[in-house]
Chains A and B, each alone.
Chain A
Amino acid sequence: MTTDNNSLTPEKVPPIYPVKTKMQVTIIFFVVLGIYLLSMFWTQRQMAGGFSGAIGNMFTVIEKFFPPNTAVISAIWGPMVETIQMAIIATTIAAILTVPLAILAAENITTFRPLYILTRTFLNILRTIPDLVLAVIFVGLFGIGLFPGILALVIFSLGILAKLISETIESVDMNPLEAMRASGGNVFQVIWYALIPQVLPQFTSLVLYVFEINIRASVVLGLVGAGGIGLILNQQLGFYNYPNAMMIIILIFIVVIVIEYISTKIREALL
């Protein structure tokens, strides 16, 4: 059968991607590869002894950490709980503050464009500030302790949460909202009855996810003086008390794993 319709001979088959796209992707690939190789070369040169030296160093340092000092568990348990509390309080405050911000940053709900753009921009700015920088600033302002840590975490999680939740809001089914409006509901009723039920599962899931991030972040923030277990870890490292530090690291590891496990299970059940 050699009809005209069937004449898709091999040379005539169009490529899946246009030739131009292929070229661009290839060029980008080699440029990125080049940057990798170059940066590897430079870091090697700046490291005394290169990679092999670094690995040898690692073993001597690691040896000093063992065996971990199990006797400190009772002493570090308090700061560990503080760290968890810091994450819980910060996540809760952020989850509450997120609601109005996420609604204002959702294009389908906030039809008044200037307000939408203002909120979006505000959230974008929030997200560009790293949590560590926030912690350093707040520790400088309020002194060492939990409060600056909580503040830094609230702002940090607000940036992520409000952005992700506003995107969830933008993908909801608008039909029920229209029905509520058509039956005389005001803005609050429309949001409460037609919008909230649609985003509640994702909302809860995202809040738990951010809580997981916050547990880890609050440890790191402690390192710069924002209270909790991170602060203790930093002190022990400063005193070269490596067995104590190792015990702290193991405890953090276990707590993080347990919390992530529970949170993942809850999130699975939700969606």
Chain B
Amino acid sequence: MIEFKNVGLVYPNGTEGLKNINVTINDGEFVVIVGLSGAGKSTFIRSINRLVTPTSGSLLVDNQDILKYRSSNLRKLRTKTGMVFQSYNLVKRSNVLKNVLAGRLGHTGTLRSIFNAYKKEDIGLAYESLKRVNIEEKIYNRADELSGGQQQRVSIARVLTQQPKYILADEPVASLDPPTSHQVMTYLKKINKEDNITTIVNLHFIDMAMEYADRIIGMRAGEVVFDGPVSEVTESTFEEIYGRSIREDDLRGGADES
């Protein structure tokens, strides 16, 4: 369970990234965060694994205030929260297997990982994860030899290998075309249901949010302006969140192509 209690975040330059956020995310939920560019979606999601640190309030993950965490606790927190990025963030010159094994870093001692002495189970797990996103045939390809969609699947395999309790995905489909976007979202949703991993995804396409989310959180200027199940969401909800009428480019489209 993740609980934001009066969480605020002011960046060193004075920008208010988050303003008095109160949100509780229960285990197993698939939450989509929507909002315009600059609304604070990334700041919200990156607070949960402390890539950024809120400056006020308290943020509880499994009933512990993570804002007080220091190095070794922080490492444990990050080991149980996997992250998927917009730009995949693979090591381009390393092969797919090595990239996926990086998901085990948090579980592996420094010396063991430096000598590539991964446990057999870890390598097996990495291979299983690649199979789950149907990319196992690329196991020895260099990451930069893959297409965007394939790279994102490898990065999902990396997160799976990490065996996290939470998955945070920051605009995972923003660099992909519509059919590939749906494929990636489908994998995330499937993992969420099969492994019961709480998943929080930032999206700015409202049709995709509606299609995959159980619950939608709308943000504007650092504040949560909507929070509710998908069933309660209508077009006017989005108009409220965005503070303007809905346009063509707020939609990803291509839902039936995949």
Chains A and B bind each other: yes
- Flag whether B202 is at the interface (Cβ < 8 A): no
- Flag whether A49 is at the interface (Cβ < 8 A): no
- Flag whether B138 is at the interface (Cβ < 8 A): no
Q: Mark B79-110, 1 if CB is under 8 A from A, else 0.
A: 10111010111111110001000110111101
- Flag whether A140 is at the interface (Cβ < 8 A): no
Interface residues of B in 33-84 (CB under 8 A from A): 49, 51, 71, 75-76, 78-79, 81-83
Q: Which of A175, A181, A189 is the one whose CB lies under 8 Å from B114?
A: A189
- Flag whether B162 is at the interface (Cβ < 8 A): yes
Q: B107's closest neighbor in chain A, by CB?
A: A184
Q: How many residues of A contact B (CB 8 A)?
A: 21
Q: Which of B87, B110, B158 is the one whose CB lies under 8 Å from A183?
A: B158
What distance in Å separates the Cβ of A113 from its nearest Cβ neighbour in chain B? 14
Q: Are the CB atoms of B75 and A197 closer together than 8 Å?
A: no
Q: Which B residues touch A181, using CB under 8 A?
A: 51, 78
What distance in Å separates the Cβ of A203 from its nearest Cβ neighbour in chain B? 12
- Flag whether A179 is at the interface (Cβ < 8 A): yes
Q: Which A residues touch B87, using CB under 8 A?
A: 175
> With A179-B85, A179-B102, A198-B91 in contact, do A184 and B79 touch (Cβ < 8 Å)?
yes
Q: Which B residues touch A179, using CB under 8 A?
A: 83, 85, 89-90, 102, 155, 158
Q: Are the CB atoms of A184 and B105 closer together than 8 Å?
A: yes
Q: Which B residues touch A197, using CB under 8 A?
A: 91, 93-94
Q: Which A residues touch B76, using CB under 8 A?
A: 184
Name the residue among A183, A192, A193 with the largest chain B CB count within 10 angstroms. A183
Q: Which A residues touch B159, using CB under 8 A?
A: 183
- Flag whether B150 is at the interface (Cβ < 8 A): no
Q: Which A residues touch B22, using CB under 8 A?
A: none
Q: A194's closest neighbor in chain B, by CB?
A: B91
Q: Are the CB atoms of B89 and A178 closer together than 8 Å?
A: yes
Q: B170's closest neighbor in chain A, by CB?
A: A182
Bound complex: CA A180 to CA B79 (Å): 10
Q: Which of A176, A183, A189, A201 is the one whose CB lies under 8 Å from B82?
A: A183
Q: Are the CB atoms of A183 and B114 closer together than 8 Å?
A: no
Q: Which A residues touch B20, using CB under 8 A?
A: none
What distance in Å separates the Cβ of B136 from its nearest Cβ neighbour in chain A? 20
- Flag whether B113 is at the interface (Cβ < 8 A): yes
Q: Are the CB atoms of B113 and A184 closer together than 8 Å?
A: no
> With A183-B78, A183-B83 in contact, do A198 and B93 touch (Cβ < 8 Å)?
yes
> With A175-B85, A182-B78 in contact, do A193 and B113 touch (Cβ < 8 Å)?
yes
Q: Are the CB atoms of B78 and A184 closer together than 8 Å?
A: yes
What distance in Å separates the Cβ of B44 from its nearest Cβ neighbour in chain A? 15
Q: Mark A156-186, 1 if CB is under 8 A from B, else 0.
A: 0000000000000000010110111111111
Q: A201's closest neighbor in chain B, by CB?
A: B93
- Flag whether A59 is at the interface (Cβ < 8 A): no
Q: A182's closest neighbor in chain B, by CB?
A: B83
> With A186-B75, A188-B110 in contact, do A193 and B102 touch (Cβ < 8 Å)?
yes
Name the residue among A173, A181, A198 with the largest chain B CB count within 10 angstroms. A181
Q: A175's closest neighbor in chain B, by CB?
A: B89
Bound complex: CA A84 to CA B114 (Å): 33
Q: B74's closest neighbor in chain A, by CB?
A: A184
Bound complex: CA A193 to CA B95 (Å): 11
Q: Which B residues touch A185, using CB under 8 A?
A: 102, 105-106, 113
Q: A176's closest neighbor in chain B, by CB?
A: B91
Interface residues of B in 121-180 (CB under 8 A from A): 155, 158-159, 162
> With A193-B102, A193-B105 in contact, do A183 and B162 touch (Cβ < 8 Å)?
yes
Q: Are the CB atoms of A182 and B91 closer together than 8 Å?
A: no
Q: Are the CB atoms of B51 and A183 closer together than 8 Å?
A: no
Q: Which A residues touch B82, using CB under 8 A?
A: 182-183
What distance in Å separates the Cβ of B155 from its nearest Cβ neighbour in chain A? 7
Q: Are the CB atoms of A182 and B51 closer together than 8 Å?
A: yes
Excluding A186-B105, A193-B102, 14 further A-B contacts by CB distance (< 8 Å) are A176-B91, A178-B85, A181-B51, A182-B82, A184-B79, A184-B162, A185-B102, A185-B105, A188-B110, A189-B105, A189-B110, A192-B114, A193-B113, A201-B93
A-B pairs with beta carbons under 8 Å apart, 29 shown? A173-B92, A175-B89, A176-B90, A176-B91, A179-B89, A181-B51, A182-B51, A182-B83, A183-B79, A183-B82, A183-B83, A183-B102, A183-B106, A183-B158, A183-B162, A184-B78, A184-B107, A185-B105, A185-B113, A186-B71, A186-B75, A186-B105, A189-B113, A189-B114, A193-B91, A194-B91, A197-B94, A198-B91, A200-B93
Which residues of B are interface residues toward A (Cβ below 8 A)?
49, 51, 71, 75-76, 78-79, 81-83, 85, 87-94, 98, 102-103, 105-108, 110, 113-114, 155, 158-159, 162
Q: Which 3 A-B pairs have the closest CB atoms?
A: A184-B106, A184-B79, A179-B89
